[in-house]
């Protein structure tokens, strides 16, 4: 099976958000920050902390959320030249190949540690920080998306 694709910025930004939020350490940090925010609201309501302490905590919460939702995905998108090119990707029984006008690279399926499916992409992970986004809109129709999903499911463990 061969698919042809380019990347659309809004979809890539959303996929990068999905990637960052799905990382264990970031999820734990977000949960702790939200617990801290709820605790600061409660402490302020009961008069245990001053308005300045509450506002400082709220400001830090807002900065963290804006960072993970807007700044971090934007930085990654701007730095990665990958998202500005057109590709073809061929999926076979024992490997998959990514092709570009400047060349191609093949990997055996065993090079992938896991995969995650998001609304617009298959995230193929080589390790916890190195991954490749395969857009579903590169497939001709929903049947081809289903066939690709089944192939990836068969060859790679889900993360």
Write down the domain spans for the chain: 2-6+85-155, 9-79
Query: Which pLDDT score is estimated for 37?
Result: 84
Distance from C-alpha of 91 to C-alpha of 44, rounded to nearest angstrom: 57
pLDDT digits (tens, 9 = 90+) for 75-104: 999 998 888 899 999 999 999 999 988 899
Give me the CATH code for the 2-6+85-155 domain, please: 2.30.29.30
Of 1-5, 12-16, 24-28, 119-123, the range with the lowest mean pLDDT is 24-28
Query: Which pLDDT score is estimated for 159?
Result: 60
pLDDT of 157 over the 80 cut: no
Q: In the chain, what is the straight-line distance between the N-terminal and C-terminal CA atoms, in Å? A: 23
User: How far is CA 33 from each of CA 39, 50, 52, 61, rounded to the nearest angstrom?
Assistant: 10, 19, 18, 7
Residue with tokens 């092709």: 99
Average pLDDT in the 135-154 region? 92
Query: Which pLDDT score is estimated for 150?
Result: 93
Give just the sign of the alpha carbon dihedral 142, 146, 152, 158: positive
| Neighbour tally for 139: CB within 10 Å | 19
pLDDT digits (tens, 9 = 90+) for 124-140: 999 878 899 999 999 88
The pLDDT mean for the chain works out to 89
């Amino acid at each position: 099976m061969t698919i042809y694709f380019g990347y659309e910025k809004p979809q890539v930004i959303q996929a990068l958000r999905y990637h960052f939020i799905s990382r264990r350490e970031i999820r734990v940090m977000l949960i702790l920050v939200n617990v801290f925010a709820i605790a600061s609201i409660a402490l302020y309501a009961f008069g245990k902390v001053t308005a300045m302490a509450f506002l400082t905590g709220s400001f830090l919460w807002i900065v963290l959320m804006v960072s993970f939702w807007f700044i971090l995905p934007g930085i990654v998108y701007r730095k990665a030249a990958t998202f500005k090119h057109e590709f073809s990707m061929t999926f076979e029984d024992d490997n998959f190949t990514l092709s570009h006008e400047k060349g191609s690279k093949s990997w055996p399926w065993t090079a992938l540690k896991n995969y995650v499916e998001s609304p617009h992409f298959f995230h193929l992970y080589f390790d916890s920080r190195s991954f490749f986004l395969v857009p579903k809109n590169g497939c001709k129709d929903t049947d081809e998306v289903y066939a690709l999903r089944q192939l990836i499911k068969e060859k790679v463990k889900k993360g």
